[in-house]
Amino acid sequence: MKLNEIPSVDQVLRGLKPIDGLPPEVITNQIRVVLGELREALKRGQPPEEAIGQAVLARLNALARPTLRPVINASGVILHTNLGRAPLAAFEPLMGYSNLEYDLLNGKRGKRDSHIAPLLEQILGVPGIVVNNNAAAVYLVLNEVAAGEEVIVSRGELIEIGDGFRIPEIMVRSGAVLREVGTTNRTRLEDYEEAINERTRLILRVHPSNFRVSGFTSRPELRELATLALEHKIPLYEDLGSGCLVDLAKYGIREPLVAGSLKSGVNLVSFSCDKLLGGPQSGIIAGDKQLVSRIRRNPMYRAFRVDKLTIQALQVTLHHVLRQEWRAIPTLRMIFQTADEIRLRAERVADALAPLACQIRTGESAIGGGSTAEQPVPTWVIAVSVPDPVSFERKLREAAIPVIARIKDDEVLLDLRTVHDEEEPLLIAAVRAANEGAPSQP
């Protein structure tokens, strides 16, 4: 095809089959996009990869399909950041109006905090508020308590999280001045004390939930920092990250408890709700009533507040916590599964995949999601032997309900720790279809 042979928009439109549900302007707009791309390709001397009509239909079909889809996580990473972190406990979203900010008892405007605040105070023993994630919580605390003044923080706690996102940059944007103390691997109590001056408004402690520094290291105990902060009448704030409310030590996971930090004398804590709490993406700020009230009145709180669906999902999660219904929270249920339980499931699924070559082997699951670094959980995996594992893994991702697996030592690994029981038949169907080279049915 030459440039002068490119058809007009009307010519392409007439050649298309009728398309239901899409306004004419949407169709013509996509035709213009395809023709523009074709024109640029021809200028570069590249022939068209597909017919114009097919390219237009592919674009229109892509527009009409939802891109957010359910997937089966067989990777063994419980809090998989790319897969939405914590899978939510079951709940029915309220589809119509709700009393989000309406006081039904008094017939007047209410506050959306009222749906979560009582639960937080009962569970944590202190007042708390919700924002849209923990980064927002850090920003809001520093902006309210220390904007224009100094915050003391250890150099070893100025961390970077996923996608090149650096916590110190959030802190600086808050308007607070970071007063870094100590070194990357060692910070002493005296370092904090020597840094305190008339501009100090906050002492910040950051839990390194997504990395570990080992060897020649030290940092003060939390109680020591709390005592120092109390002596100088300076609030102590701890960014806990993972938000662990349940002691997971007997499952081999060492993660500080929110209640433990508050008991140690910390004035404010913040943490994510979509990590070890097992809720939706959001962040909690909790602690001294006066400080929480100040932060709640900060104008930026409105920019960081959560919507009704998040409130509903979080309320469901917190109700399970309140009743200690741990296995109703998918994240905790996955952590609580024993290796023996997973082995039985793996054997059942492997038998259903016969005659495909499968072996059951010991392995390691990961908590993931920027929490519990270097603390794997023992598991059993199904090792699938196929001629081309890369192609096989791609076919799993292209299934009607995509399956996310791992490749290790030229084998495709399936870890059932992160697969719900009701997903097992779908997983089996996807693996069979990938092996046979046929599309699996939803």
Full 3-state SS string of 408-426: ECCEEEEEHHHCCHHHHHH
Tell me the pTM.
0.89
CATH number at residue 395: 3.90.1150.180
Q: Has residue 90 been placed in a domain?
A: no
Can you read off the two tokens belonging to residue 393?
A: 């893994």
Measured in residues, the chain has a length of 442
Tell whether 17 and 44 lie within a shared domain.
yes
Tell whether 412 and 395 lie within a shared domain.
yes
Domain end position, chosen among 313, 328, 343? 328
Q: Has residue 281 been placed in a domain?
A: yes
Let me know: does 236 contact 225? Beta carbons within 8 Å: yes
Element (H, E) at 99: none
Tell whether 140 and 206 lie within a shared domain.
yes
Residue 221, pLDDT score: 92
Q: Has residue 197 been placed in a domain?
A: yes
Residue 207, pLDDT score: 85
Tell whether 358 and 288 lie within a shared domain.
no
Range of the domain at 348: 72-84+332-436
Tell whether 232 and 149 lie within a shared domain.
yes
Let me know: does 53 contact 15? Beta carbons within 8 Å: yes
Instruction: Count the domains in the chain.
Output: 3
- Region of 423 on the Ramachandran plot (φ > 0 left; ψ -120 to 50 alpha; else beta): alpha
Let me know: does 48 contact 40? Beta carbons within 8 Å: no
Residue 261, pLDDT score: 96
Give dist(CA 378, CA 179) in Å, integer.
41
Q: Has residue 97 been placed in a domain?
A: no
Residue 442, pLDDT score: 42
Closest to 366 (Cα-Cα) out of 314, 398, 413, 430: 413
CATH number at residue 162: 3.40.640.10
Q: Phi, psi at residue 12, to the nearest 5°?
A: -65, -40
Profile the chain (442 residues) by mean pLDDT over runs of 10 residues: 86 83 89 92 84 90 90 96 94 95 96 96 97 94 96 86 70 91 90 96 85 71 96 96 89 90 97 96 97 97 96 98 96 96 97 95 87 80 96 95 96 97 96 79 44
Residue 438, pLDDT score: 54
Residue 164, pLDDT score: 59
Domain end position, chosen among 328, 348, 375? 328
Tell whether 214 and 313 lie within a shared domain.
yes
β pairing state of 200-206 and 108-109: unpaired
Tell whether 110 and 212 lie within a shared domain.
yes
Tell whether 291 and 196 lie within a shared domain.
yes
Tell whether 344 and 306 lie within a shared domain.
no
Tell whether 76 and 109 lie within a shared domain.
no
Let me know: does 266 contact 237? Beta carbons within 8 Å: yes
Can you read off the two tokens belonging to residue 119?
A: 């639960």
Give dist(CA 288, CA 436) in Å, integer.
61
Tell whether 323 and 190 lie within a shared domain.
yes
First-to-last C-alpha distance (Å) of the chain:
40
Q: Has residue 94 been placed in a domain?
A: no
CB within 8 Å of 367: residues ≥ 6 apart: 77, 78, 79, 253, 276, 335, 375, 377
Give dist(CA 275, CA 284) in Å, integer.
12
Tell whether 173 and 304 lie within a shared domain.
yes
Q: Has residue 95 been placed in a domain?
A: no
